[in-house]
Amino acid sequence: DTQRCGWGDADVRSRPASQVHRCGATFALNGVQDRARHVPHTWGEPVPPSLLEPPFPLILAVDVLLYTPAYPALIRSLQALLEPRGGVKPRLLMNWERRFKGADDAFFDELAAAGLECFHLGSRVFDISATASRL
């Protein structure tokens, strides 16, 4: 029941309070404010233990793949977040509208090389998890 935003600590400090609290407003609008929290994380940095425990089964992400140079850092974070733990094999459901030709191919190739598998569920929705060899 934890939602996360991709803003890093420095990003959060530099943003106006109204933008920083978007996650809280989203939680309230969806009636999950008592079960969700925002934990800042910068892609590629070590994942704080607070993001990993208790194990969570599902991560939802929307429009996170805008900058091709950030793919390796994002994939390092996904490897940590999608690592099976406590009997739970987390999955990432991601909605992504392709904006740059060829950019999606590079991302999905890098996912596979990192031991993550991706299934296109249709309508620009992808299901990403650790491959069986990582279990």
**CB count in 10 Å sphere of residue 16:** 7
| Helix ranges (DSSP H) in 53-94 | 71-81
**What pLDDT does residue 106 have?**
81
**What pLDDT does residue 20 have?**
46
**What pLDDT does residue 65 have?**
61
**What pLDDT does residue 89 have?**
92
pLDDT in tens, 109-123: 899 999 999 998 988
**What pLDDT does residue 60 have?**
78
- Asked if residue 4 lies in contact with residue 41, where contact means CB atoms within 8 angstroms, the answer is yes
- In the predicted model, residues of the chain with pLDDT beneath 50 are 1-9, 12-13, 16, 19-20, 135
- Asked if residue 72 lies in contact with residue 110, where contact means CB atoms within 8 angstroms, the answer is yes
First to last CA, the chain: 23
